[in-house]
Structure 1
């Protein structure tokens, strides 16, 4: 589970990431990143629209993404937003994990 200190909740923060962050995408997710060091690790938010599916499917995708990002709390980003695309509904957990890790790397985020 993603710790409360690492959750992005305010709409102003989401807007900041969408407007000023770098972006990287594939067919499952779009990862928006604002780089910068943070002692508590990055704050992470998720966007899963109704295009992904009904409420059950959206929540399943969101839970998977939250669990995946809990493993990436050692990245050198300040703010991260993971936006699920409709293909994420049919993706397996492993496909989503690879997609997120690849897009974080393409966005220029380093681990460690």
Structure 2
């Protein structure tokens, strides 16, 4: 994922928490915020140390990035997304994580079908 498409700064995360809307299921919490000046979407990730060691956390982040890379054509542009992983994600494979993220986006009405 390109650097321009990532949320990295603490200020960006704080804006998402304060002004963004949220949707959650058992595996993920999704914050999203419409940005009128953006032509693409940006993604921020939060994976707590409670989920496991560095290897596990990095695997979870790679799964989330892969999801957004593979489904970028189906997602609306002009949004910032913040994905927070919860404990059950540590034991999931990619297809389960993909289904769960698709479910959260569908619940948030950000896609017209389950991915």
- The two structures have a TM-score, normalised by structure 2, of 0.86
The offset of 1:102, in angstroms, is 1.3
Match of 2:30 in 1: 31
Instruction: Give deviations 1:26-71, integer Å, cap 9, x for gaps.
Output: 11111110024431x1110100001111111001101111111112
Match of 2:71 in 1: 72
The offset of 1:104, in angstroms, is 1.2
Runs of 4 or more, structure 1, over 4 Å off, are none
Instruction: Give deviations 1:71-99, integer Å, cap 9, x for gaps.
Output: 23342242100100011000111111111
Q: Which runs of 5+ in 1 are unaligned?
A: none
> Could you tell me whether the CA contact under 8 Å between 1:28 and 1:91 is conserved in 2?
no
> Could you tell me whether the CA contact under 8 Å between 1:35 and 1:109 is conserved in 2?
no
CA RMSD of aligned residues (A): 1.5
| Alignment size in residue pairs | 109
Match of 2:93 in 1: 92
The reply on whether 1:21 has 2:20 as its aligned counterpart is: yes
The offset of 1:110, in angstroms, is 3.4
Q: Which runs of 5+ in 2 are unaligned?
A: none
